Amino acid sequence: MSAPDAVPFVSVEGLNRVFDVSPPFLNRIVEGKPKQLLRAVDDVSFAIARGETFALVGESGSGKSTVARMVVGLLQPTRGRVTIDGVPMTGGADADDLRRVRRRMQMIFQDPYASLNPRWRVDRIVAEPIRAFGLRDGEAEIRARVGELLAFVGLHPADGVKYPHEFSGGQRQRIAIARALASDAEFIVCDEPTSALDVSVQAQILNLMRDLQDRLGLTYLFISHNLAVVRHMASRIGVMYLGRMVEIGDGRGLFERPQHPYTRMLLDAVPDLAHIGRRREPVAGEIPNPISPPPGCTFNPRCPFANDRCRQEVPPFRDGVACHAIHEGRIEPAPTLLASTAA
């Protein structure tokens, strides 16, 4: 997994997404209520180098999956720009360029039981991207490619005649990975790809993904709330809270010396046998309502270092972190419970 290049393979700049969650127009007129807007993603920027794994972490509701869907084009951003291999995905690109880039990116979804068509056999599921993009000529070549892909992810080519319900959860996720590779993808967005699987199966799928990355030079955007998984997979990590990016760091550095208080709280909650008996600081409070977020730094109601400025001003993202207390020198980055075992 490489370090960021001067020209990133994937670039996300100032990404915003606002959802209108207002009641129907007539209801608002009768009840005299204003429109309600939910800002799911607010000014998120990051870059991913070719061959790198960049992870987004945070609690449920932080906006990670919304970012993922905007990057692959399943959602259009309210504002902001996504560029993949120099092609702007959010407008202004040639149609042929867009088609070429879209063929080279795929998505692996969270639930392997819902992401596969139960009425299709596995060979048809894996072959669909090949047929859609015209990557092979003739059914014989397509069948050969499907068998090759199934073997690539640890299944037998003969499994292609089966239906998804005949496989376990881990096997289904292997099928989903084979489908993602069928279009000769180079960039794969992984949205919680192991959270629905048993722990032992999670390790198998993660090792498979890393092996494929090494063999094929794949680039991953990895979405997860599991910091142990992220530590195993990611070369760089972005921490999101209530739609905003609060910290970005390399995998080892962020685990050894986190800066933002939210990152520290997340890491402090991870079990570590090396520090049994040491006092831990649990993640206090709950994530606020995104429809009416607190003013200033949205983490201020849960932050032990918050002052009046934190409650009034949104902290700028500077030097890899968005935190007034860090920028003012009121708190210093400190080792956490994971410092001795960070990968």
Residue 49 has pLDDT above 80, yes or no: yes
In the Cβ-directed half-sphere of 238, how many Cα atoms lie within 13 Å?
24
DSSP string, 182-235: TTT-SEEEEESTTTTS-HHHHHHHHHHHHHHHHHH--EEEEE-S-HHHHHHH-S
For the chain, the average pLDDT equals 88
User: What are the Cα distances from residue 289, in Å, to 38, 62, 71, 183, 241?
Assistant: 9, 11, 25, 40, 12
Q: For residues 30 and 256, what is the distance between their CA atoms, to the nearest angstrom?
A: 55
Question: Is 50 strand, coil or helix?
Answer: coil
**C-beta of residue 12 within 8 angstroms of C-beta of residue 80:** yes
Q: For residues 85 and 120, what is the distance between their CA atoms, to the nearest angstrom?
A: 33
Give the per-residue pLDDT at 277. Answer: 54
Backbone Cα Rg of the chain: 22
Give the per-residue pLDDT at 325. Answer: 94
Element (H, E) at 56: strand 53-57
Dump pLDDT digits (tens) for 231-286: 889 999 999 999 999 999 998 888 888 999 999 888 877 766 555 555 666 666 77
Q: For residues 183 and 132, what is the distance between their CA atoms, to the nearest angstrom?
A: 9
More confident residue, 247 or 199: 247
Give the per-residue pLDDT at 274. Answer: 54
Dump pLDDT digits (tens) for 12-30: 999 999 999 888 888 888 8
More confident residue, 340 or 297: 297
Q: Is the pTM of this model over 0.95?
A: no
Give the per-residue pLDDT at 294. Answer: 92
**Percentage of the residues of the chain whose pLDDT score is greater than 90:** 62
Average pLDDT rounded to a whole number, residues 218-240: 92
Q: Under 8 Å CB-to-CB from 140, ≥6 apart: which residues?
A: none
Dump pLDDT digits (tens) for 126-153: 999 999 999 998 999 999 999 999 999 9
- Distance, C-alpha 106 to centroid of its chain: 13
Strands 37-48 and 10-20: antiparallel
**C-beta of residue 62 within 8 angstroms of C-beta of residue 13:** no
